[in-house]
Amino acid sequence: MANWQIDPSPDTIVSGQKTLYLRDAFSQWLLNGGADFRASALIEKQDPQDFNYVVRSKKLTKASRPKPVNLGGGAASNAKFDMISLLPIAASSVPSSAVQVPAHMPADNGLDSEKLVIIGIIDDGVNVFNRRFRPEGQASRIEYAWAQDGPAPQNGATVPFGCEMTGVQITNAMDTGTPERELLRQHGFSNGPNQPYMPDVFANASNHGTQIADLAAGAARDDTSTLNTRLITVQMPAFSVMDTSGAGLVSALHHAAIYVFDRARAMSAHYLTPIPVVLNISFGLTGGARNGQQFLERALRALAIKYRKDMKKTFGKNAVPPVVRVISAGNENILQLHAIATDTGPLDLAMRLQPEDTTASFLEIWLPESSLSAGLTITAPSGMVEAISFNGFDAQNPPDFDAHILADDPSAPVCRVTLDAPMLASGQPDALFWRLVIAFAPTRSWAPNRPAAEAGLWQITTTAQGSTAKLQAWILRDTPVSGFASNGRQAYFDDDYRGSDSYTASVFDWTGDRAVDDLANRASVISRNGAISGLATNSMLRRKNGGTKKGDGPEMDAISVGAYRWDLPRAAIYSGADNIGNEQAPMVMAMAENSRFVANIRASGSYSDTGSSLNGTSAAAPIVARMLAAHLGNLAQADYATFDPKTYLQSLGMAPARPVGMETASGAGIRVERLRDNGVLLPLPAALQANVQRDNRAKI
C-alpha cells in the first residue's frame, strides 16, 4: 500500500435543493467516504438514491420542537443545536402534503382517568395487533403507533415521515379477523412480498420490540388489571436498526421521543387530566462521553422538562405528572470496548479489526476540555504510519469539524479521522469534551473497486497537551441486533499486557471464572468500568454548580437498569456499569437470566399466542418500566410532587449478599452488584412470575 494521503473531507451534502452542513461525524462517513460501503452492506437490492438520508434532528413540527439542555444553561436552555444526522428513510415514507395534527379519538371510553399512565416503547417494532395488548372484549391499549419507515399517505399525513395508526384504527383492524401478519403488511409495519426490498422485523418468530412491550405492559386476554396502562409505540427504521454501530439510531430515537410526548399531551388534553409517562428505551449506544451530555441524553431530558411544564400550565402547579425515563445499561461489560489511560499522559491503544467484517468499525477517543492541542498516530497492521496534529483548541469557540481521509486515493478511503466538540463548554477542565472519531472501512468489501481496511492490530496513540484528566476511548458496537442478518464482526482492544504475571489475574476472578471487573491496581488500559451505555448516564447532567434547584423534578435523572441472574442472584457477566459507587453506575437491576446456560426470561413472540425468550439489560429495563407504571397508576395527584422513582425502587429492592472475593477497583464482591451506591436488585413482578423457566440442573 502506498503512502496515505491526508486531505480535507467534504462536510456538506445536497438534500433536495438545500446544501446541508453535516454535524455528525458518523453521518459524514456514511454519507461521504463510506457511502458505497453503506449501500453495499445495508441496502443490497435497493438503489441508495431511493432514500432520503438526512434529517435535521431539531425539527419535527413547530409545536414540538425540542430545546436541548446545555450544562450551565439552566433546565431548558434555548441555545440552538441543530444536529444533522443519518436517518435512512425511503423516499416513499416522506409525504407530499403538509403534516396535520390528529385529534385524539380514544378507542376505549370506559377508562379511569385518574389512574391513567402512559408507557412509551421505542424499539425495532411492536406488533400492535398482538392480543397481549388488548383485553378480551375491550379495545386495544395501544393509543398510538408510529412506523417511522412505513409508507407515507399522500394526503392527510399526521407524522413527518412513515405512517401512524391510532387505537381506534388498530382495534377496527383487529376486528376484521385478518391475520396479524397480513395486517402488519396492510398498515405499513412490514413490506409485502412484491414490494421493494426492505428488511422486515416481523419476518421471524420473535422480534425485540414486541418482546420489550410485552414485558413492560403485556397481559393475558382475561386480565383487565392493566386496562388503564396505555401504550404509545414507535417502530424505528429498519435500516437504522440494522446499522450495527448504532450511530443511525440517534435521529430515530430523538424523533420517536418527541412523538411520544406530543401524543401524551393530546391524551392529557382529551381526558382532562395530567398523565404520567414512563419512557422505555432498550436500545443503547456504546459511544459518548458518559457525562450526561450526549446529544440524545440532553434532548430526552429537555423533552421531559417541556412536557411537565406544559402540564403545569394546563392543570396547575399541584398536578405536574411524573416523567420517568428507563434506559438499559448495556451488555458490553466483557467485550473490551473501553480503554482509559493510566495517567494524564498519552493513550496507547491496540485495536483489533477482525477479518471478513463487512461493516464499518468506529472508535471514539475523548479528550478533556483542558486540552490545548492533540496528536494522533495511526499504525496499520502492515506497518504504514500516519501522524495527524490538531492545534489551537478553544473550548469556548471550537471548530465544527476538522476531518481527514487516510487512503491511497482520497476518493476511496480506508480510514477517516474527525475532530469535533459535540457538547457545549462547561468550564470544567477535567470533563471529556473533544472527540476524535476514527471510522474504519470494512475488512471485507463487497463493493466493486472499494478498498478494504486491513484486518489485524491497529496501533493508535493519542496525545493531548494541557490535559488535566485521563483520555478515554470507546469502540462502537458492531454486532447484529433484532435478528437481522449481518456480517459485522466486533472490533475490540487487545490486552496490552498479555503474557505478564498480572494477565491471568485480570482475565479470571478469584473463583476461576471470567473476571467481570477491573483489578484494584489496573495495569492495562482496557477497563470494564465504563462499559455502560452512552445513553444511561443522564444523572451526571446537572446545573453549572453541579447541583439542582427548586422545581427540578425526577426528569433530572434517568433510571439506568442492569441485569441479574435469578439463580445466584448476581449481576449478569455482560451487564455494563461505570465508576461503581457513583451516579453513573446502574441504579437498579432486574432479573433477565435464569442461569448462565439456560435462557433467559420468557416474553411474547411476534404474534399472539406464541412465546420467545430473551435476555440482556434490554429485557431488564421494561420490567422496571412495568413496576413504575403500576405504581404511578395508583398514585394520587396530590403525591406527584413528592414522588421520586429512585426512592420508590429502593423501597422494593432486595439486599443482595456480597460474598468475599478478590479486591477489585470497585471493592470486594463486585461480581454481585455492579450498582451505584444504594442500588438494589428488584424482585420480579407477580405478573411476570410465569415468564421464568427454572431449571435447577443448570444452576451453575
pLDDT digits (tens, 9 = 90+) for 136-187: 999 999 999 999 989 888 788 898 889 999 999 999 999 999 999 999 999 9
Q: Please state whether the peptide bond connecting residue 48 to the residue before it is cis, i.e. omega within 30 degrees of 0.
A: no
The better pLDDT of the pair 95, 382 is held by 382
- pLDDT for residue 74 is more than 50: no
Question: Is 208 found in the same domain as 135?
Answer: yes
483: nearest Cα among 93, 266, 273, 208:
208
| Residue 3 counted as domain residue | no
| Residue 29 counted as domain residue | no
Question: Is 358 found in the same domain as 304?
Answer: no
Q: What is the pLDDT of residue 662?
A: 45
| Residue 46 counted as domain residue | no
CATH number, domain with residue 160: 3.40.50.200
Which of the listed residues 286, 321, 356 is the one where a domain comes to its end?
321
pLDDT digits (tens, 9 = 90+) for 615-639: 999 999 999 999 999 999 999 999 9
- 514 backbone φψ class: left, alpha, beta (φ>0; ψ -120 to 50): beta
The better pLDDT of the pair 445, 532 is held by 532
Q: What is the DSSP string of 469-522?
A: S--EEEEPP----TT--------EEPPTTTTSTTHHHHHB-TTSSBP-S-BTT-
| Residue 675 counted as domain residue | yes
Question: Is 398 found in the same domain as 441?
Answer: yes
333: nearest Cα among 48, 565, 62, 585:
585
Cell of residue 488, nine digits: 459485522
How many domains does the chain contain in total? 3
% of the chain beyond a pLDDT of 70:
73
Question: Is 385 found in the same domain as 296?
Answer: no
AA identity, residue 232: I
Q: What is the pLDDT of residue 552?
A: 47
Per DSSP, the three-state class of 390 is: strand
% of the chain beyond a pLDDT of 90:
38
- pLDDT for residue 2 is more than 70: no
DSSP letter assigned to residue 685: P
Question: Is 343 found in the same domain as 307?
Answer: no
**CA 541 – CA 424 distance, rounded (Å):** 12
- pLDDT for residue 379 is more than 70: yes
User: Burial of 383 by CB count in 10 Å (0-12 exposed, 13-18 middle, 19+ buried)?
Assistant: exposed
- pLDDT for residue 328 is more than 90: yes
Question: Is 251 found in the same domain as 123?
Answer: yes
Question: Is 492 found in the same domain as 376?
Answer: yes
| Residue 81 counted as domain residue | no
pLDDT digits (tens, 9 = 90+) for 563-620: 988 777 778 889 988 765 456 678 899 999 877 666 578 899 999 999 988 899 999 9
pLDDT digits (tens, 9 = 90+) for 20-64: 556 677 767 766 656 554 444 444 434 444 444 444 444 322 333
Q: What is the pLDDT of residue 64?
A: 36
Which of the listed residues 272, 294, 321 is the one where a domain comes to its end?
321
What are the backbone dihedrals phi and psi of residue 416, each rounded to the nearest 5 degrees, phi first? -140, 130
Question: Is 451 found in the same domain as 302?
Answer: no
Q: What is the DSSP string of 29-74?
A: HHHTTTHHHHIIIIITTS-GGGEEEEEETT-S-GGG------TTS-
Question: Is 616 found in the same domain as 475?
Answer: no
Question: Is 565 found in the same domain as 497?
Answer: no
CATH number, domain with residue 424: 2.60.120.1290
| CB-CB contact of 458 with 360 (8 Å) | no
Domain that holds residue 171: 113-321
| Residue 142 counted as domain residue | yes
User: Where in 499-651 does DSSP place strands (E)?
Assistant: 559-565, 570-571, 588-593, 601-604, 611-614
- pLDDT for residue 400 is more than 80: no
Rg (CA), the chain: 24
Q: What is the pLDDT of residue 472?
A: 95
Question: Is 404 found in the same domain as 309?
Answer: no
| Residue 160 counted as domain residue | yes
| Residue 89 counted as domain residue | no
Neighbours of 397 (CB within 10 A): 8
Question: Is 305 found in the same domain as 196?
Answer: yes
Banded model confidence at residue 260, pLDDT cuts 50, 70, 90: very high
**CA 576 – CA 393 distance, rounded (Å):** 33
